[in-house]
Copies of this chain bind each other. A is one copy, B any other.
Amino acid sequence: MSSRADRLGSMSQTPDSAVRTYIEQHRTAFLDDLVEWLRIPSVSAQPDHAPDVRDSADWLATKLKETGFTTAEVWQTEGAPAVFAEWPSDDPDAPTVLVYGHHDVQPAAREDGWDSEPFEPVVRGNRLYARGAADDKGQVFFHTLGVRAHLAATGRTTPAVHLKLLIEGEEESGSPHFRALVERHAGRLAADAVIVSDTGMWSEDTPTVCTGMRGLAECEIRLSGPDQDIHSGSFGGAVPNPATAAARLVAALHDEHARVAVPGFYDGIVELTERERELFAELPFDEDQWLRTAKSHAAHGEAGYSTLERVWARPTAEVNGIGGGYQGPGSKTIIPSTAMVKLSFRLVAGQDPDHIEKAVRAWVDEHVPDGIRHQTVFGAATRPCLTPLEHPALRSVARSMGRAFGTPVRFTREGGSGPAADLQEVLDAPVLFLGISVPSDGWHAPNEKVELDLLLKGVETSAYLWGDLAEHWRDAP
């Protein structure tokens, strides 16, 4: 093949201008629909929002049928429902692709610091503000206009790949029933590749494809000292204080090099290769800018690793919450009866959540002093995952994104966690990441937003991807 033909690509490539025209014509209706979805407060962590999570699933299934999917079903779980949709290709030999995302969102309340109601979406400038705008409704939704643009621009009546969608409803609660759901429906979910749209990219100017996500293990450690709050004058200095015990546990969580000090925590981890460290180092990383995005005032982490390595490729332990005793105004001279700590551990490839749970339990048992009773409760864990850099589907994603953004894409990882590894494991399929969110989108934070330009680049990437995948699927690496 000549270098010119290589540059232009094959004739089956979707004309880019046709895709863009179609998107431009349909963007208003697309955004109106997304806003309607974002109004549904589908907070999976809060029991009183369970009806909203169900409404969100119903809404999405209806919308996917309108989009053209031949099947769109709400799948019940023991928790919140997922949505499954399917649109087979008329080419029986086409590869099968499963798109994963989630329709539940993090808790949000105006008083947490939002400038507008989190569930009353509002456009300010070129940004759409709402809980779920980026994480993850916006990123799920770009595939609906994407597949329509793919059909319109290619003149096809069915996608170039057998397209499936699985949009779960408990991702923000640690996906407690997701693996069982995938196992139960493994036959219908079977796919040659999984496209996860629940990650971010480097920046507006530097589109990137993510090659891995960290896993997550979470626990709450509950400590009990005196059977009730007792007077710190009468008893202070002579009995163990559960708030002190909680603090000492947290203080013992990291060593002086900011490494996690739980024995066995690093067992079996896949270390970064020199090539991966080089790829990370090539990114236009500006630590001051990153700190502004992180709304933080210093970088601090495991000795011997860069900030990017720390957030993408190193396992961590963080305190998400700590509490005990009197927290109201003024003072109350008590030894508290109870204290608690919520910890989360981000895991990298090679770490097994079951092993981590055992290691943490042993470490807690070791560190809690006499006279303090304790209970450690683990939530559902999420496994880490990593995509092979040389996989042809990863190249298709990178190429499609490059066309949409008009610039070559680079490679990153994602510090957050998703149930992608369950899909990889149960379906025995490689997992690719197609996400257009940027770090300033404020996931899990007040004033979450999505950049409208990027959202439409997501649509465009999705529109190119199915043709590219069908064409290059069997390319040798």
Q: Which A residues fall within an 8 A CB radius of B?
A: 45-47, 106-107, 112-113, 173-174, 200, 214, 216, 218, 220, 225-241, 243-244, 246-254, 291, 294-302, 307, 310-311, 314-316, 318-327, 329-337, 339-342, 344, 346, 369-373, 379, 414-417, 439, 443-446
Contacts and interface: CB of A to CB of B under 8 A. Distances in A.
A318 B241 contact: yes
Given A237-B310, A237-B318, A333-B417, 6 more contacts: A232-B318, A232-B346, A241-B318, A319-B325, A323-B323, A330-B379
Residue picked from A106, A295, A326, A372, most chain B C-beta under 10 Å = A295
A238 B299 contact: yes
B243 A294 contact: no
B251 A416 contact: no
A335 B332 CA distance: 27
B231 A443 contact: yes
Contact of A332 (B227, B320, B325): B320
A106 B334 CA distance: 11
B325 A324 contact: no
Given A236-B415, A240-B300, A331-B45, A248 B246 contact: no
A327 B340 contact: yes
Given A324-B322, A331-B174, A301 B372 contact: no
Contacts of A341: 247
A446 B227 CA distance: 11
The 9 closest A-B pairs by CB, nearest first: A298-B371, A233-B416, A237-B316, A251-B251, A247-B250, A321-B325, A239-B296, A227-B295, A247-B247
Nearest to A324: B322
A199 to B, nearest CB: 10
Contacts of A324: 319, 321-323
A252 to B, nearest CB: 7
A344 B329 CA distance: 15
Contact of A322 (B237, B240, B246, B369): B246
A396 B250 CA distance: 52
Contacts of A439: 234
Contacts of A307: 238
A79 to B, nearest CB: 12
A291 B238 CA distance: 10
Contacts of A320: 232, 243, 325-326, 331-336
Given A243-B250, A243-B322, A296 B230 contact: yes
Contacts of A323: 322-324, 327
A345 to B, nearest CB: 9
B229 A445 contact: yes
Nearest to A326: B321
B344 A333 contact: yes
Contact of A244 (B107, B234, B250): B250
A304 to B, nearest CB: 13
Nearest to A218: B331
Contacts of A319: 241, 243-244, 247, 324-325, 336
Nearest to A446: B228
A370 B301 CA distance: 12
B234 A443 contact: yes
B240 A298 contact: yes
Nearest to A316: B237
Given A106-B332, A218-B333, A237 B346 contact: yes
Nearest to A373: B297
10 contacts: A112-B229, A228-B445, A230-B295, A232-B316, A296-B371, A297-B370, A298-B370, A298-B371, A321-B336, A322-B324
A294 B240 CA distance: 11
Contacts of A417: 233, 333
B444 A334 contact: yes
